[in-house]
Structure 1
Amino acid sequence: MSRRLLAGAALACALSIPPGADALARDCCPIVELRQYTMVPGKRDELISLFEERFIESQEATGMRIAATFRDLADPDRFVWVRGFTDMQTRHDALTAFYYGPVWQAYREQANATLADNDNVLLLHPAFAGSGFVLDGLVRPAVGAAAGGRLVTVTIYYLREDALPGFVAAFRRDLAPLLERSGARLLAQYVSDSSKNTFARLPVREKEHVFVSFAAFDDADGYVRQQRALAADERWRALLAAQAAAMERAPETLLLRPTPRSLVR
């Protein structure tokens, strides 16, 4: 099996919503960044502690949402997180306010010392109406909470640009029902967003054409059972084979565990 399955996660609202952010809470998030960080060996927990204590509320105060934060179960030096925005102009304004603001300036050297690479970023928007993260009503755990026990998977399908609309339709019609029947709880689906990067200081993977599906399982055993069921399902195998010509390369799989303050738990 490919290592990365970009899985969907139902994302959640923040502890506090800054003034004027009611619309963001209801409609989060039309623009999403899926960020995968390669850590200096042994430094992941250090960054997670700093992130959860200093970088969640300070980013959300600018108008963005920190939707999910994860440990990669297959790579002890990989930190995966998701943040969202209402639009690309809001993204520019929020990132400018945060990265030139007092909290990042105070802690950036400490954070950067833990990072080997932070340029693996996909810019995404909902694949179809209603497929984005649902955040309303969720409450972020306080500092010091226990880590979430649920398994979150993320599946990234790398597609030809012209094949993307057809794949979205096939996923909704054929693949999603089989995934859910075999035990996955589908949380969100996104596709690449081709908007110009409005904050050039942080690069994104601009030439990718991807479909990203977030899903959740009660535990790792549930995921294993689902994979076995799919492997034995002739219809699933036939549907994937039918989509092979649309793919630029094999899908990637991420197996993730929510960090203590992740809204996706």
Structure 2
Amino acid sequence: MEDSRYPIVELRQYTLHEGERDVLIDLFEREFVEPQEATGMTVIGQFRDLDAPDRFVWLRGFPDMERRAEALRSFYGGPVWKANRDRANATMIDSDDVLLLRTREDFPAAARPPLGDATPTSIVVATLCHRDRPFDDAFADFFDRSVRPALTETGARPLACLRTEYAENTFPALPVRTGENVFVWFSRFAGPDDLADHQERLAGSRTWRDRVLPELSETLTGAPWRLRLAPTARSSLR
């Protein structure tokens, strides 16, 4: 979208040492949020993966690929990262699981809670689809025409949709996954009961079961992969 606040988005999944996730989240939320945004990027949200106790997931956005490079050089070459990188890196086994994406629509704008705020009970679900060719405008039209209404009707209105950004990585010091074609959408639920209600309603939807799902499955290389994410206390996406 031309008027997007951050057309370029990184979906970052970190595998951490056992018991270190809350250590990293505390450090991240105290030291890394505002300094990153001061360089021109947007910290969209940060999460605990509900299905992987040692995985930390977060999203950050950029105005374009050139300014992404500038912002990352500024932050990772700056004093805040240099002062805290050893503590951060000590929590991590792997930080290279990164998808570089382009937004079709921005996430809803929301104020970031201050330090000390309560952790929300909401759940954000990211649904990732893969196929053997790029997700083109024809797929996007199908999503808007068929998938989006079925999800909305069953309580899972998509907050934002993204697809693979194929531009060359402008900051090679931080690797990104390549050679993949991905389409991602995010939905938000008030809590586990709302998520379970959506799943039950979707499974019982004849429109989804008989029309939408077969057409969706026909174009994908496998079943969609879902991340169930619990927003941290300072996540703007919550």
If the TM-score is normalised by the length of the shorter chain, which range does it land in? over 0.9
RMSD: 1.3
Among candidates 190, 193, 200, match of residue 221 of structure 1: 193
Give CA deviations for 1:68-111 in whole Å, capped at 9, x if unaligned.
00011111101110000000001000000000110101110100
Distance 1:103 1:109 in 2: 11
TM-fit CA distance, 1:245: 2.7
What residue is the counterpart of 1:15 in the other structure? none
Contact 2:45-2:58 within 8 A present in 1 as well: yes
CA apart distance, 1:177: 0.6
Task: State the 1:242 CA deviation.
Answer: 1.6
Q: Tell me the TM-score normalized by structure 2.
A: 0.95
Partner of 1:46, secondary structure, is helix
SS in 1 for 2:222: strand
2:99 pairs with 1:122: yes
| Structure 1 contact 72–257 (Cα < 8 Å) conserved | yes
- Equivalent of residue 56 in structure 1, options 10, 33, 45: 33
Provide the secondary structure at the position in 2 that maps to 1:248. Answer: coil
1:132 counterpart letter in structure 2: D
Query: What's the TM-score once normalised by structure 1's chain length?
Result: 0.86
Say yes or no: does 1:251 pair with 2:228: no
- Long gaps (5+) in structure 2: none
Partner of 2:95: helix, strand, or coil? strand
* 2:181 alignment counterpart: 209
Give the one of 10, 13, 25 matched to 1:36. 13
How does 1:110-259 map onto structure 2 within 5 Å?
A: 110-127=87-104, 131-135=105-109, 138-162=110-134, 164-238=136-210, 239-259=212-232
SS of equivalent to 2:221:
strand
CA distance in 1 between partners of 2:139 and 2:132 (Å): 10
Name the residue aligned to 1:70.
Answer: 47
Q: Does 1:100 align with 2:73?
A: no
CA distance change for structure 1 residues 162 and 189 in 2, over 3 Å: closer, same or farther?
closer
Give the whole-Å Cα distance in 2 for the aligned partners of 1:169 and 1:205.
Answer: 26
Equivalent-residue separation in structure 2 for 1:114 and 1:63 (angstroms): 26
Structure 1 position 237, deviation (Å)? 1.8
> Cα distance, 1:162 vs. partner?
4.8
What CA deviation, in whole Å up to 9, does each residue of 1:100-136 have, x standing for no partner?
1101011101000000111111111123xxx22232x
Is the 1:155–1:254 contact (alpha carbons within 8 Å) kept by the matching residues of 2? yes
Identity in percent: 46
Distance in 2, matches of 1:56 and 1:163, equals 32
Change (3 A) 1:160 1:168: farther
- Contact 1:168–1:211 (CA under 8 A) maintained in structure 2: no
In structure 1, the gaps of 5 or more residues are 1-25
Moved more, 206-215 or 230-239: 230-239
